[in-house]
Amino acid sequence: MENYDIWIDQAIDQYLETLVQSRLKSAIRYALSGTGKRLRPKLMLATIEARGFNAKDYASVALALELVHTYSLVHDDLPAMDDDALRRGQPTTHIQFDEATAILVGDALLSDAFRLISEAAQISPDKQSAMIRILAEKIGSKGMVYGQILDIASENTSGDVAQLMAINTHKTAHLLEAALMMGAIASNESNLERTEQLGRDLGLLYQIQDDLLEATSDEATAGKSFSDDRRKKPTYLTVLGLAKTQAMNDQYYASIQATLKALELEHTVLDELIQTIIHRTY
């Protein structure tokens, strides 16, 4: 797992080499830089390695997940969305460049993500098709984008648990599901339903943790703006309070452990990565 960042960096360099030298390329390079955790490509790589395959061979495909995630952040930070000024420890892309460039960066990253998968010679056409279908479903009008419109609609509302679950399932969990499912496809794992559930539980736990960390951290430490309070969005803490939020956190942790056991992934590199995510401090 210690090599994942190296492999992802190499894949980013190779991807950037395919782009025409331009303001767009400079902005894409900038958007992909900074202090991002790269959880989504790492989850795919760890899933593959946990099943005994050479994860390095799939770094360029895993990068597609980072391109999609970065596109979503660049667009999410725009003035029309959350209007954030800090991301990954640096000014957001529309602040560093301009709004039009930021929009085009997101457009390019989303499109190029599918190109990376379709050009992956190490993956059979059937597996490419399955990965593209899953990723498209998880981030489109029934997935991450739908979650974003729910998130916008939640502004200036008190919210409830059902609303938060819908937002966070679509906006956060679905892309983690895609990461694990793409790794499962690459490594010939047939139980995609349990893998999908693992990603959903992890995504929901991740968002609960985000709410808890925002209550105890600061923007400099997190490397991003805390806009939920400014835009009056409901969070688990505002809806449930600290004790019930922590109890929900514990429930998802138990579910994740049970699913790892069912998939026979306990004490693997994937388990190790998930434990790192669960016990993060930023």
Query: What confidence category does residue 25 fall into, taking pLDDT thresholds of 50, 70 and 90?
Result: very high
Cα–Cα distances in Å, from 238 out to 36, 160, 162, 190?
27, 9, 14, 40
Q: Provide, rounded to the nearest whole percent, the portion of the chain with pLDDT above 90.
A: 81
- More reliable by pLDDT, 222 or 62: 62
What pLDDT, on a 0 to 100 scale, did the predictor assign at position 240?
92
What pLDDT, on a 0 to 100 scale, did the predictor assign at position 218?
58
Q: Poorest-confidence range of 19-23, 122-126, 133-137, 221-225? A: 221-225
Do residues 75 and 81 make contact, with C-beta atoms less than 8 angstroms apart? yes
What pLDDT, on a 0 to 100 scale, did the predictor assign at position 217?
61
Query: Comparing C-alpha atoms, which of 187, 190, 193 is closest to residue 43?
Result: 187
Query: What confidence category does residue 152 fall into, taking pLDDT thresholds of 50, 70 and 90?
Result: very high
Which tokens hold the place of 245?
Answer: 């939020």
Do residues 41 and 62 make contact, with C-beta atoms less than 8 angstroms apart? yes
Name the β-bridge partners of 87: 90
Q: Poorest-confidence range of 153-162, 168-177, 246-255? A: 153-162
Q: What is the pLDDT of residues 209-264, one digit of tens each?
A: 988 888 776 555 555 555 555 567 899 999 999 999 999 999 999 999 999 999 99
What pLDDT, on a 0 to 100 scale, did the predictor assign at position 223?
53
Q: What is the CA radius of gyration of the chain?
A: 18
Query: What confidence category does residue 36 fall into, taking pLDDT thresholds of 50, 70 and 90?
Result: confident
Helix (H) or strand (E) holding 180: helix 174-186
What pLDDT, on a 0 to 100 scale, did the predictor assign at position 88?
84
Average pLDDT, the chain: 92
Q: What is the pLDDT of residues 259-280, one digit of tens each?
A: 999 999 999 999 999 999 988 8
Q: Return the CATH superfamily for domain 4-278.
A: Farnesyl Diphosphate Synthase (1.10.600.10)
Q: How far apart are the first and last CA of the chain?
A: 19
- Whether 87 shows a pLDDT value over 70: the answer reads yes
| Cα separation, 168 vs 159, whole angstroms | 13
What pLDDT, on a 0 to 100 scale, did the predictor assign at position 271?
97
The domains of the chain are located at 4-278
